[in-house]
Amino acid sequence: MNNNGGVKMKTGEKIAKARKNISLTQDQLAEVLDVSRQTISKWESDIAYPEAGKLKLLADTLNVSIDYLLKDEVEETKIPEMKQTSNGYEVDWSKLYPILNKYDKEIDMDYYFDIFGNLIKEAMKKYNYSLEDAMLVLKDVYYKVYLKLKEEENE
């Protein structure tokens, strides 16, 4: 660990870890990347490094960023905190997403309350949904919009 809270990890170690996280063998990864299993082994042992032309496909296949593969620093994995409440347990997502600790001081909350509140009320009225169902449906729609925007961003 270094003084920034990151963990030093070599590229090969990150490739191996990411490959195992998605349950691929070296042979399977080699086939996807059109390289030999020995090449994957050399990458994972830091004997050789992926050529620039293979980095994007490697990162995409492993579901990681190119930055993750190339930078020595890796942020420590943060685990959301579970808090016991009167209704059971609640997840504190701010451990994973620090923006959740400060956004309400940065944005116009009333503006978004009105927009989201009206969307929920509209879904409840138009489709005869309960408050919970309207919220879940709109949350799913919102996530699908996010995925589409993410896809467009990567084009």
Q: Note whether 113 and 54 are same-domain residues.
A: no
pLDDT for residue 78: 52
> Which residue range forms the structural domain that includes residue 139?
108-153
Show the DSSP H helices in the chain as ranges.
11-21, 26-33, 37-44, 52-62, 66-70, 103-106, 109-127, 131-153
pTM of the entire predicted model: 0.46
pLDDT digits (tens, 9 = 90+) for 88-107: 777 777 766 778 888 988 99
Q: Which of 39, 58, 55 is nearest to 47 (CA)?
A: 39
Cα-flanking dihedrals φ and ψ of residue 129, to 5°? -85, 155
Residue 134: predicted pLDDT: 96
Residue-level pLDDT at 2: 41
Quick check: is 39 in a domain? yes
Q: Does 16 share its domain with 63? A: yes
Query: Which residues are 37's β-sheet partners?
Result: none
Q: How far apart are CA 5 and CA 28, in angstroms?
A: 34
In a domain, 90, yes or no: no
Q: Tell me whether residue 102 is in a domain.
A: no
10-residue mean pLDDT profile of the chain (155 residues): values are 56 90 90 94 93 90 86 58 71 76 90 96 97 95 93 88
Q: Looking at the structure, tell me whether residues 19 and 67 fall in a common domain.
A: yes
Over its C-alpha atoms, the chain yields an Rg (Å, rounded) of 22
| Closest alpha carbon to 46 in 72, 21, 84, 20 | 72
Q: Which residues, at least 6 apart from 83, have a Cβ–Cβ distance to it below 8 Å?
A: 89, 90, 91, 92
Question: In this structure, is residue 116 part of a structural domain?
Answer: yes
pLDDT value of residue 3? 42
Whether 80 is covered by a domain: the verdict is no
- Alpha-carbon distance 37 to 30, whole Å? 5
Q: Give the rounded distance of the alpha carbon of 85 from its chain centre.
A: 27
Residue 96: inside a domain, yes or no? no
48 lies in some domain = yes
Cβ neighbours, 10 Å, residue 62: 22
Domain total for the chain? 2
Question: Which tens digit of pLDDT belongs to each residue from 59-73?
Answer: 889 888 888 888 876
Please report the pLDDT score of residue 128 as a whole number: 97
